[in-house]
Chain A
Amino acid sequence: MTFTRRETLALGLGAAALAAMPGASFASTEEAIAAFTGGAEVGEGGIELTTPEIAENGNTVPVEVSAPGATSIMLLATGNPNPDVGTFNFGPLAGSRSASTRIRLAQSQDVIAIARMEDGSFTRTSAPVKVTIGGCGG
């Protein structure tokens, strides 16, 4: 099998792009989800995650999450060095099952929210966020 110069270049670029993908963090995202759900099946729907489509500054990205009937909601940033962001646990006097905060995102990525419902089931949603300037310093 022989390659022309152009094909070789394209192949090299493709491989470099693949290597740069946040694959390493992907595995730990799965681990974090498993730790939260205990391996239970995660459904969809009944949870809403509001994020900006484009965040100019990854150091402070406003996110809002709401899941009626949830007892706790976990947020994950799949493209961060450590995907954990935080978990909201709602007490008996919580006025609604929603909260908002500001988070750091290292690069453009999907933000995932997983809610544990009162009946013990889990539901998830995700939202892509484009980050212009990453927020993990260096």
Chain B
Amino acid sequence: MAKGVKPRVKVPKSAEAGEVITIKTLISHKMESGQRKDSDGNVIPRSIINRFTCDFNGENVIDVTIEPAVSTNPYFEFEAKVPEAGEFKFTWYDDDGSVYEESKSIAIG
């Protein structure tokens, strides 16, 4: 597992049923592109998060395929519909096989 990976997610605490809310996510990750060289001229191997998904009560909200052109500390902002109270689940998939998870619950009213 890459060091110092910390997911951060911003979700409102409550919403009206059926309301569309904005979600912001950020995960600290160096996203080594595989294009850079170290001081000896050797290519630094690629090490990125290649996929991000967000689900609400088991239903998919967004599924993002990520390439090395996404910046360090990948940030995503998107909108989700909230039909009922429940839990958002966020998952990031690392090149090295690690999976980072975060969840946030939301209430109605």
A118 and B60 CA atoms in complex are apart in Å by 16
Minimum distance in angstroms from B31 CB to a CB of chain A: 8
Q: Chain A: which residue is nearest B19 at the CB level?
A: A95
Instruction: Give B69-97 as 1s and 0s: 1 = Cβ < 8 Å from A's Cβ atoms.
Output: 11110111111110100000000000000
CB < 8 Å neighbour of A99 from B65, B72, B76, B83? B76
Does B64 reach chain A (CB closer than 8 Å)? yes
Q: Is the CB of B60 within 8 A of A84?
A: no
Residues of chain A lying within 8 A (CB to CB) of residue B81:
93-95
- How many inter-chain contacts with C-beta < 8 Å in the A-B complex? 110
Main secondary structure of the interface of A (DSSP, over half): strand
Interface size class of B (residues with CB under 8 A): 20 to 34
Decide: A95 near B21, CB < 8 A? Known: A101-B75, A102-B70, A102-B75.
Answer: yes
Task: Count chain A residues whose beta carbon lies closer than 8 angstroms to a beta carbon of B.
Answer: 34
A81 and B43 CA atoms in complex are apart in Å by 14
- Which of B21, B35, B72 neighbours the largest number of chain A CB atoms within 10 Å of its CB? B35
Residues of chain B lying within 8 A (CB to CB) of residue A105:
69
A94 and B81 CA atoms in complex are apart in Å by 6
Other 17 A-B pairs with CB < 8 A, given A77-B69, A89-B62: A59-B71, A59-B72, A60-B72, A82-B69, A85-B69, A87-B65, A88-B64, A90-B62, A93-B59, A93-B60, A94-B80, A95-B78, A96-B78, A99-B64, A101-B71, A104-B69, A138-B37
> Which A residues contact B (CB, under 8 angstroms)?
59-61, 64, 77, 80-96, 98-105, 135-138
